[in-house]
Each structure stands twice: as C-alpha cells, then as structure tokens.
Amino acid sequence: MIFEGTPIAGAFRIQPQRLADDRGFFARVFCIEEFRQHGLRTEVCQSSVSYNVAAGTVRGMHWQAAPHGECKLVRCIRGIVWDVILDVRPASVSYRRWWSIELSEDNGTMLYVPEGVAHGFLTLAPFSEVEYVMSDPYIADAARGIRWDDPGFGIEWPEAPVVISERDRSYPNHRP
C-alpha cells in the first residue's frame, strides 16, 4: 500500500497496490504493520456499508465527539463518490480546513480519517456503495454533524446535491 499524507493532520490517502493478471487483480486493503508504521490506529470494532441509490446523494458532515472519537478507513466499492474531510479539532494545525478526493471502484483509493475529523461524501454515480471500517463503536449520544454547505467552511462540492437526509439538512451552521 502507498500512504500519502493530506493537508488534514493525521489523514492519509491510501492506494492499494494491485497485482493484476488475466483473472483481475489482488490487493491488500489493510495491514496492521503498515498502518502502525505510519502511526495509524489499527483497532477494528465495526464495519459498515452505505448504499446510495441516486447520484447527487450527500451524506455528512459527521464525526463522534470525545471520548468516543472514531477513526475511519473509507473506500468506495461500487460507483464514485466525492469524499470530503473537515478538521473540527480546535487544537489541530489544520483546524477548520477541508480536503476532498474522488473515491471509486475503479481507482480503489482509500481514505484514513482520524478521530475528530468530520467526514462526508457526495455520490457522483447512481448505486454507489461506500464501505467504512471504524476503530470504535457508534455511540448515538456522541454523534455530531455540521451542514455540508456551511458557509463558514466553504467546502467546494462538484455538483449540487439532490438527496439530503432531514438530519443532515437540520444541522446548524458552525459558529466559531
């Protein structure tokens, strides 16, 4: 795997190295030793899938508050998504900065999202499916969110969303 830092402290773009032949390819998507070498958490306690019927579906921006912060390893296993992370950790050197990347079944790219960083995505193709592997369990009382279009952060999305949950639509804008 190739690990590449991002402008968000502690977040990594991870590219599996595909070994291809006539059958297709084989690639590792997790190796405890390689993750540890990059200072990343290796606990896995939950794995989830987000299936999205329509292109233009937005999910986010979500994170869990301390002490229930969770790291996420995110990859698109079907379709294409515009994946966004936003640093909401006040003590971080990248506080209030956002960064985005296209994840797709074709490019196989993964994103490691450290705890305390908000995450969301916009589907760019119908029937997109996103897989999450998390370091900590979901705790409803620790769930937090910021509006995907909060003008205080200025996240640039490639398209206007078509489908947004009531929960995501109802988050207030952040007040610094």
- Residue 134 exposed, middle or buried by CB count within 10 Å (0-12, 13-18, 19+): buried
Residue 110 CB partners (closer than 8 Å, separation 6+):
13, 14, 15, 16, 29, 73, 74, 75, 103
The answer to whether residue 62 is catalytic is yes
What's the CA dihedral at 32, 95, 136, 129 to 10 degrees? Answer: -80
Distances (CA, A) of 28 to 14, 42, 75, 124: 11, 15, 13, 25
Instruction: Out of 68, 95, 132, 174, pick the active-site residue.
Output: 132
* Alpha-carbon span 113 to 124, nearest angstrom: 21
Q: Which H or E run includes 25?
A: strand 24-26
Our answer to whether residue 95 is catalytic in this structure is no
Helices (H), 18-91: 32-37
Q: Which of 62, 68, 171, 174 is catalytic?
A: 62
Point out the residues that are catalytic. 62, 132
